[in-house]
Amino acid sequence: MSSESTRKREVEGLVAAMETFSLKEGLILTDDTEDEIEVGDKKIIVRPVWKWLLD
**Average of pLDDT values for 13-19?**
97
List the one residue out of 43, 8, 39, 12 whose CA is nearest residue 25: 43
Distance CA 39, CA 10 (A): 13
pLDDT tens column, 17-45: 999 999 999 999 999 999 999 999 999 99
42 three-state secondary structure:
strand
Confidence of residue 2 (pLDDT cuts 50, 70, 90): low
Q: What are the residue boundaries of the structural domains of the chain, listed by start?
A: 4-54
Distance CA 40, CA 35 (A): 16
Helix (H) or strand (E) segment spanning residue 11:
helix 4-20
pTM for this entry:
0.85
The answer on pLDDT for 7 being more than 90 is: no
- The DSSP 8-state label assigned to residue 40 in this structure reads T
Give the pLDDT of residue 3: 83
